[in-house]
């Protein structure tokens, strides 16, 4: 029987989303494989986390596509993006906190593609006079990512209900970036 590497990554992501410090033994157990099998695919935690980083990029690009952020009203596109991102917020929170993911060229390129698409959405909103000009698209991207990650942590800690997280992120982000609001 061959091991489905992507399923192994999804199982690892599910555990690390809840317990970011889980050991390789715990990850193997959660995935239903032996530690030796896990190590054949990922020789150490760094290799596993880097593979998870690439999975995160893939998932985020899929979510951007599903949100159709290049289409329609920018405010509604931001809301769609938040709605699409929220089911992965715990996983994105884990990745957001993994500093070993920085300075990996293929990951930098992947996140740069994502940043460009999201920044273009914010620029479009500014060009249409909807979003504040004094907040750069790069800053708005970082604020969005931080709010999504924070909502993931809050849901995991039972501080907010999963069904409320997208609304709360949208209200806070849009409330601060829309023109004409104080």
29 and 54, same domain (yes or no): no
71 located within any domain: yes
54 and 124, same domain (yes or no): yes
> Which residue, 9, 24, 43, sits at the end of a domain?
43
pLDDT in tens, 53-79: 999 999 999 999 999 999 999 999 999
Q: Which of 87, 92, 88, 93 is nearest to 163 (CA)?
A: 87
13 and 71, same domain (yes or no): no
What span, in angstroms and rounded, lies between the C-alpha atoms of 10 and 16?
10
pLDDT in tens, 96-145: 877 666 677 888 899 999 999 999 999 999 999 999 999 999 999 999 99
Boundaries of domain holding 37 = 1-43
Domain count, the chain: 2
Name the DSSP letter for residue 132.
Answer: -
For position 31, which CATH number holds? 1.10.10
Tokens of 176: 């601060």
């Amino acid at each position: 029987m061959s091991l489905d590497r992507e399923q192994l990554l999804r199982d690892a992501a599910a555990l690390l989303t809840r317990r970011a410090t889980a050991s390789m033994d715990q990850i193997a157990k959660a995935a239903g494989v032996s530690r030796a099998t896990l190590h054949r695919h990922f020789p150490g935690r760094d290799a596993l986390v880097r593979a998870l980083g690439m999975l995160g990029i893939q998932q985020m690009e899929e979510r951007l596509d599903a949100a159709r952020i290049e289409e329609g009203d920018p405010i509604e596109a931001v809301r769609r993006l938040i709605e699409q991102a929220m089911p992965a917020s715990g996983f994105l929170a884990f990745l957001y906190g993994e500093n070993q993911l920085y300075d990996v060229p293929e990951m930098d390129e992947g996140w740069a593609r994502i940043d460009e698409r999201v920044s273009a959405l914010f620029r479009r909103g500014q060009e249409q006079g909807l979003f504040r000009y004094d907040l750069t698209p790069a800053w708005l991207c970082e604020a969005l990512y931080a709010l999504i990650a924070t909502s993931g942590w809050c849901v995991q800690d039972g501080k907010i209900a999963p069904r409320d997280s997208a609304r709360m992120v949208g209200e806070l982000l849009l409330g601060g970036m829309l023109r004409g609001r104080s």
